[in-house]
Amino acid sequence: MKKYTKEHEWVEIKGSEAFIGVTAFAAKELGDITFVEIRPEGTDVIVGDVIGTIESVKAASDVYSPISGTVCATNTDLEEEPGIINNSPEERGWVCKLDNIDLIELEELMTKEQYDKYLKESTKK
């Protein structure tokens, strides 16, 4: 199961863990990503907490946790190669993994179809 936030994060449930990252739209908007900081393993977060910061050449942006849980792994490949997020935002560019999650929180989030519709409406002017 994969869900999306209005702040352009995605969360995908695999077993008892949740992978978190930013969407292709967010990666494109940020431009070339040059640095990623992720909250360390063991950090407890609730919905909306900052779980990381992504810097591009021009600016820095926070990544907010789509759900509550405990950071159980971070994507260490991003330390040396943050551009992975530009090349593969929704697969190899995952930012961190959470456990101790509650699936009921996912009901508040958007499906792929809902997110695509949201994108279309929010980028239309």
Partner 1 sequence: MSDTENLKLTPLYNSHLALGAKMVPFAGWMMPVQYTEGIIAEHKHTRTLVSIFDIFHMGEFRVKGGTSAAALDKILARAVADQKPGTCRYNFLLTEKGTAMDDLIVYRIAEGEFYIVVNAGTKDTDAARFRELLPQGISFADESDSTAKIDLQGPESANVLEALGLKKESLPGYYKWINASIKGIPCLLSRTGYTGELGYEIYFPAGKSESMWNLLLEQKDVKPAGLGARDTLRLEMGYPLYGHELNLKTTPVEAGFGEILKLGDKRDFIGSDVLRNSQPGRLLVGIELEGRRAAREGTKVLIGGQEAGIVSSGAFSPSLEKAVAMAFISKDFKTAVGMELELATDRFKVSGRISELPFYRKGTARMSLGG
Residue 55 engages partner 1 in binding (rule: CB under 8 A): yes
Torsion angles phi and psi, residue 77, rounded to 5: -60, -25
Q: How many residues bind partner 1 (CB under 8 A)?
A: 12
Residue whose CB is less far from partner 1, 86 or 100:
86
User: How buried is 4 (Cβ within 10 angstroms: 0-12 exposed, 13-18 middle, 19+ buried)?
Assistant: buried
Q: Single out the segment in contact with partner 1 by CB under 8 A; choices: 6-14, 27-35, 93-101, 108-116.
A: 27-35
Residue 122 engages partner 1 in binding (rule: CB under 8 A): no
Residue 77 engages partner 1 in binding (rule: CB under 8 A): no
Cβ atoms within 10 Å of 95's Cβ, excluding its own: 25
